[in-house]
A and B are shown apart, each in its own frame.
Chain A
């Protein structure tokens, strides 16, 4: 059977989606997105192979009696047999010309299923053709094949019609004699014309009573009135349409038969001479049905030739909705859009979720079109209001959500839900674009599998989840290795996209360039990873030097500080000593701003292969906003200046900026700082006295100090409430230093970091490690770091914030000792290392990685050369999958299996194959007659097979050995056949 796989709209939709995914992945240079795109593409390709192989292993044949003439309404029994090792699923079978197909859920492997097909309506007569169609497994391709049969179905027209019989032509008497032997109108005429069996309605006067008295059956004497006229039934004389004409003529023939008149049939194609009797009747009816099919056959025969039968309503288009699959699809789509919360404006999410619940969970009917249009307009307006402009990734995704919701509202048939499932694939993919965690990628893969299972479920009708899950898992297991191989090999950067598709809105976590009281505390509440640091030199800085510098703030407004303006060139730093430098490789998570963290004090950095020098305030700034995770290298000097080096003086502009104070200063604070200035001789002592003040005056450190607002906030904090967070301390300290005449500035960054053993040892710095401290300018030291929090709570340096706030160092130590503490710590560190690996190996796998891979192998050509191994892998994978799918069924009976091997060997050698209905001995005899050189061995093996399988003898081992050991030489056989043929 020739199987054709046709693509339909869904194939195009799949291609579009894969192209969209690849484009997004290239634009964002996101390896996980590439992987998902490849996985989707491979699943689509494999579903093509599965669709093809599904119908390939099917044998369709007619069964039962195939009479010469049949009742028009009689069903046609057909047997479908699955000859491969896999079951055949999701079939639609129908006869060409019928209106409704029969849906067959599954034909188990190696077994046969019998169906009765509704008879064709339009092509009542003619050669019967069957069509088998399937959109299994995913509905992306439709496979179909036309089964030709040799049965010419003939349907005799039913007698119908009320027109009177045409008058017999008396002039045709000569022909009447030919058929006058059997007719006999019981009543008329006086020539005895023989006996016939009595029928109900015959007059009792004509019964042959003598014979009946002797015990014979009731016979009726028939009389003829000599030569009778012949009734001529002419096709062209009637003015009705074809089927009515045929019915009328059949009725006339019936009347003629019962009357005993000979009749002649005159059709456009043939003329049947006058006659009478059942054989004549049958001939005439056959001719009539042939006439009917010839007339009706012209239009549909072209359809037959084209092999299309799209007019038959497929079960894909039926509007009956099964409840459970729809529920599953809605749930899967809800799972798909769940991770988008937090990145996409909630209005579109809510719209989409409501539509899904309305239609899928509550199973309400499709609402009116106005409502649907209203939903689209409302959703689009909400997107516009939220985002302002339609370009960019998030607005696009939000619009897609609204459209998906609208599509859900209007979907009725499985075909439309298929489109929705494809959109669901894309929505699940979007989550990977927005978040880079390993967990998110796994979630996406899981959701894709769920949606695929829903797609399979829609194509089948058995309830339950096991079968769709099994099919999905098989597809996934076959697609995953291919996708992984292509991930490494398929050339990236083919599209050469200049702009990166970044995220426009990030989470609320992340340092801002404004230090407002309270906003550092907000950052500290999140436990997301800010960045990870590796030390390639093996030098790990001590706890108290793990200050990570991000921003410096110059402009003072009391408790609130901002960046201030950019100042001129930086003062020269003390010449870096050979020791005390440490190299770091930092993997920074995207935060949308331009600062880069570095260990205090950064000397120089390297980002994207280019050197980056620190700014005027010794912090690192990236040339463009960090919208994706970045990796860069920094060399820092972490030892504090000793005061013995030559330090240049602070430039005037810097000094002026570093002493700027807000316009309104609290007089009490002014008094305090004046007092400090008065009791000290130099700046260092001022610093020291201020630190003493903080540590002795009852200040406390908490994450929830309450609100400080207004111009009095500094005084409020420093003199009255004395409860605050590092931001309060650093801001107030720097302000007071400025008031005391010491140039100072606030530095915002991170403090600490958790050490993890995995991946060769690295530090994890989280958002909760955010910290703010101050720097003061001291004459012989330069900018000197002062951490007021350290003065207040020295433990803070050793443990992270959460532990510090929970109970301090002892509590943390105790926690670490418990089993729960240890195992949760280990788990946490392991999970972080998994994420780190995922980031490094998968997400950051891009063009450069490919190039380095190529160079390692030894090739230096351009990236297009990678297309060759990609295509090779795909072809190899497709071949393997096809071979697996097409494997022939293994017979349960071991005897039969070995016999099959023998038949295959013989077939390869040129012997015509064993027919299905041929017994073993008959086959052996045939082989012996056609190929005498094989006769002896064949006879022996056949004897063994027969005595073992049908006789119960225990010769299986010998038989198997004999079959496997027999090497049939194909050439000898072929030459013999060629000789015989010549």
Chain B
């Protein structure tokens, strides 16, 4: 089991990251915490929000604060899979095909407006996310470690888009929504420095090796049988009417809860950790079962109704 000092040290490091990023994104500390939790749990993030609330800014700030490489791809309806993964190009000099790596070969990739692309392009990206490598012309090129995809989609504009189906939304660990900042935060935003300037001067809080160390520690956080009972009760409650959460969802929930526990400086997962991440982890997976409600509302209801054993 993780020693307590390690957990404390980890939580301090994570606190630094959150504090740095919160200087850029004002008034949204909760969202930043959840985003960092997602990264610690080695999951991919989905932002579903209206345009202009700072999704790109947040992704860039995260990447920078963690000392990770950042690439941004703007998805359009005519984007091809090769535009993301890379293509083999014939080099006349060497008379051979060279694989030119696409933007996916980076640490943090921001896939902006993922719902604009055709399903073929979406699935190419999702496949790369899942496998962690790209195969082209018979050769396999692995993606760098750690690898994150932060995707965004705008829920309200339905016309001319290909919304991600639930089976593919499942691949994202969390679905977050930033929302508009409150009045004082917005005031600070308006009065303060230009965000891009701040972003340029943002110092990384750790290297990617340290991040990998944090991720290893996250996996080592202890989950007691009593806690797994609670987790399984939640999963069973969602499966009452028809199919609810899948085992992948359970694993995702546990991983996110572990990250949340480490963030709070604990060596074991508590029901509070699960409750803290549950809505964002379960919300997008429950859209089909929600039957008229929003998935996140159903998730909240499940939490409220399932007793802690």
Using a CB–CB cutoff of 8 Å, the interface residues on chain A facing chain B are 61, 63-70, 77, 79, 114, 195-197, 214-217, 219, 893, 895-896, 916-922, 946-947, 949-952
Instruction: State the CA gap A197–B160 with chains docked (Å).
Output: 7
Which 9 residue pairs of A and B lie closest in terms of their CB atoms, listed nearest first? A67-B292, A916-B307, A919-B271, A951-B268, A64-B241, A67-B291, A919-B272, A64-B240, A950-B224
B77 and A215 contacting across the interface, CB-CB below 8 Å: yes
Q: A70 touching B291 by the CB < 8 A rule?
A: yes
* CB pair B272 A114 closer than 8 Å: no
Give the CA-CA distance A65 to B244 in the complex, in Å.
10
Cα–Cα, bound, A922→B309 (Å): 15
Q: Are B293 and A77 in contact (CB under 8 A)?
A: no
Interface presence of B245 (CB below 8 A): no
CB neighbours of A63 from chain B (8 A): 237, 240-241, 305
A803 to B292, alpha carbons, bound, how many Å?
A: 94
Is B96 close to A, CB under 8 A? no
Knowing A65-B241, A950-B270 touch, does A917 contact B308 (C-beta < 8 A)?
yes
Query: A195–B292 contact, CB under 8 A?
Result: no
Please, which residues of chain B bring their CB within 8 A of the CB of A947? Answer: 268
Instruction: Say yes or no: B292 contacts A70, CB within 8 Å.
Output: yes
A216 to B161, CA, bound (A): 9
- Answer whether residue B253 sits at the interface, using C-beta atoms and an 8 A cutoff: no
State A215–B222 Cα separation when bound (angstroms): 50
User: CA A68 – CA B241 in complex, angstroms?
Assistant: 16
Asked if A219 and B160 sit within 8 Å, CB to CB, the answer is: yes
Greatest chain B CB density within 10 A among A895, A946, A950 is at A950
Also in contact, A919 and B291, with CB within 8 A (given A219-B160, A950-B268): no
Q: A916 contacts B224, CB within 8 Å?
A: no
Using A215-B77, A950-B224 as known contacts, list a sample of 8 further A-B pairs with CB atoms less than 8 Å apart, ordered by residue number in A.
A195-B160, A214-B78, A917-B304, A919-B270, A919-B308, A921-B272, A946-B270, A952-B1
Alpha-carbon distance between A949 and B225 when the two chains are bound, in angstroms: 9
Whether the Cβ atoms of B305 and A61 lie closer than 8 Å is yes
Any chain A CB within 8 A of the CB of B226?
yes
Given the complex, which residues of A lie within 8 Å of B159, measured CB to CB? 195-197
A69-B293 Cα distance, complex, nearest whole Å: 9
**B240 touching A77 by the CB < 8 A rule?**
yes
Chain A min CB distance to B264 (Å): 9
Given contacts A65-B291, A946-B270, A952-B268, contact A216 B77 (CB under 8 A): yes
Residue from A68, A70, A216 within 8 A of B78 (CB atoms): A216
- Chain A residues with Cβ below 8 Å from B290 are 65, 67
The answer to whether the Cβ of B12 comes within 8 Å of any Cβ in the partner chain is no
B292 with A916: CB separation less than 8 A: no
* Distance of B165 from chain A, by nearest CB (Å): 15
B110 at the interface (CB under 8 A from A): no
Complex contact A896–B222 (CB within 8 A): no
Docked-complex contact B222 and A951, CB < 8 angstroms: yes
C-alpha gap A214/B160 in the complex (Å): 13
**B:102-152 near A, CB below 8 Å:** 118
Contacts of B304 in A (CB 8 A): 917
Is B309 in contact with A896, judged by CB distance below 8 angstroms? yes
Known interface pairs A196-B159, A214-B78, A917-B307. Does A69 touch B270 (Cβ–Cβ under 8 Å)?
no
Contact of A920 among B269, B270, B289, B293 (CB under 8 A): B270
Report yes or no: B224 in contact with A952, Cβ–Cβ below 8 A.
yes
Q: Given A917-B306, A919-B275, A946-B270 in contact, is the A66-B240 Cβ separation under 8 Å?
A: no
Q: For A63, A68, A196, A946, which residue has the most chain B Cβ atoms within 10 angstroms?
A: A63
Residues of A within 8 A of B271 (CB): 919-920, 950
- Residue from A70, A214, A949 within 8 A of B226 (CB atoms): A949
- Are B270 and A921 closer than 8 Å at their CB atoms? yes
Q: Mind listing 9 A-B residue pairs with CB under 8 Å?
A: A65-B298, A68-B292, A217-B77, A917-B304, A917-B305, A920-B308, A921-B270, A950-B226, A951-B267
- Write the nearest CB–CB distance from B150 to chain A, whole angstroms: 25
Distance, CA A68 to CA B303, complexed state (A): 19
A531-B307 Cα distance, complex, nearest whole Å: 71
Which residues on B sit within 8 Å (CB–CB) of A952? Answer: 1, 222, 224, 268
CB-nearest residue of chain A to B297: A65
For A66, list chain B residues within 8 Å (CB).
293, 301
Check A217–B270 contact: CB distance below 8 A. Answer: no
Q: Once the chains bind, are A950 and B227 in contact (CB under 8 Å)?
A: yes
Residues in chain A near residue B305, CB distance under 8 A: 61, 63, 917
Which residues of B are found within 8 Å of A196, using beta-carbon distances?
159
Give the residues in chain A near B237, CB-CB below 8 Å: 63
Q: Does B90 contact A (CB under 8 A)?
A: no
Which residues does chain A contribute within 8 Å of B224, judged by CB atoms?
A: 949-952
- Residues in B whose Cβ lies below 8 Å from that of A917: 275, 303-308
Contacts of B226 in A (CB 8 A): 893, 895, 949-950
One digit per residue, 1 when the CB lies within 8 angstroms of any chain A CB and 0 when it does not, for chain B 233-246 equals 00001001100000
Please give, as numbers and ranges, the residues of chain A lying within 8 Å of B307 by CB-CB distance.
916-917
Nearest-Cβ distance from residue A41 to partner chain B, whole angstroms? 41
**Complex alpha-carbon distance, A833 and B195, angstroms:** 105
CA distance A919 to B159 in the complex (A): 43
User: Whole-angstrom distance from the CB of A159 to the nearest CB of chain B?
Assistant: 18
| Docked pose: A197 CA to B161 CA in angstroms | 10
Q: Does B97 contact A (CB under 8 A)?
A: no
A935 CA to B175 CA in the complex, in Å? 36
Q: Across the interface, do A950 and B269 meet the contact criterion of CB distance under 8 Å?
A: yes
Interface residues of B in 210-251 (CB under 8 A from A): 222, 224, 226-227, 237, 240-241
Q: For residue A215, which residues in chain B have a CB less than 8 angstroms away from its CB? A: 77-78, 118
Contacts of B241 in A (CB 8 A): 63-65, 77
| CB under 8 Å from chain A, chain B span 16-68 | none
User: Whole-angstrom distance between the alpha carbons of A195 and B157 in the complex?
Assistant: 13
Partner among B77, B268, B293, B306 whose Cβ is within 8 Å of the Cβ of A67: B293
Closest chain A CB from B7 CB (angstroms) = 11
Q: Hey, which chain B residues are within 8 Å of A217, CB to CB?
A: 77, 160, 162
**Structural contact, A918 and B308, CB atoms closer than 8 A:** yes
Q: Which of chain A's residues has its CB closest to B261's CB?
A: A950
State the CA gap A462–B159 with chains docked (Å).
Answer: 58
Closest to B303 in A: A917
Instruction: Give the complex CA separation of A917 and B278 in angstroms.
Output: 13
A77-B291 Cα distance, complex, nearest whole Å: 14
Bound complex: CA A215 to CA B303 (Å): 43
Within 8 A of A (CB), among B260-297: 267-272, 275, 289-293
Distance in angstroms between the alpha carbons of A215 and B114 in the assembled complex = 16
As a 0/1 sequence over residues 181 to 215 of chain B, the CB contacts with chain A under 8 angstroms (1 = contact) are 00000000000000000000000000000000000
Q: Which of B293, B298, B305 has the most CB of A within 10 A?
A: B305
- List, in ascending order, chain A residues with CB within 8 A of B1's CB: 951-952
Docked Cα-Cα span, A470 to B305, in Å, equals 35
Asked whether A916 lies within 8 Å of B227 as measured between CB atoms, the reply is: no
Q: Report A-chain residues with C-beta under 8 Å of the C-beta of B306.
A: 917
Q: How far is the CB of A196 from chain B (nearest CB, A)?
A: 7
CA distance A129 to B109 in the complex (A): 51
Bound-state Cα–Cα, A921 to B271, Å: 9
Q: Within the assembled complex, what's the spacing in Å between the Cα atoms of A215 and B118?
A: 8
What residues on A are CB-neighbors of B269 within 8 Å? 950
- The residue in chain A whose Cβ has the minimal distance to the Cβ of B120 is A215
Residues of B within 8 A of A197 (CB): 159
CB distance from A135 to the nearest CB of B (A): 28
Cα–Cα distance between A64 and B267 once the two chains are bound (Å):
33
Taken together as a complex, chains A and B put the C-alpha atoms of A172 and B238 apart, in Å, by 48
Whose C-beta in chain A lies nearest to the C-beta of B162?
A: A217
Chain B residues near A61 (CB-CB < 8 A) = 305
Which residues does chain A contribute within 8 Å of B78, judged by CB atoms? 214-216
**Cα of A917 to Cα of B303 in the assembled complex, Å:** 7
Question: In whole angstroms, what is the CA distance A77 to B301 when docked?
Answer: 15
Q: Please measure, in the bound complex, the distance between the C-alpha atom of A196 and the C-alpha atom of B304, giving whole angstroms.
A: 40
Measured CB to CB, the closest approach of chain A to B247, in angstroms, equals: 19
Q: How far is the CB of A956 from chain B (nearest CB, A)?
A: 13
Please report the C-alpha to C-alpha distance between residue A371 and residue B268 in the assembled complex, in whole angstroms. 77
**Bound Cα distance A971, B293 (Å):** 46
* A65-B308 in contact given A950-B226, A951-B222, A952-B268 (Cβ < 8 Å): no
0/1 per residue, B67-78, Cβ < 8 Å to A? 000000000011
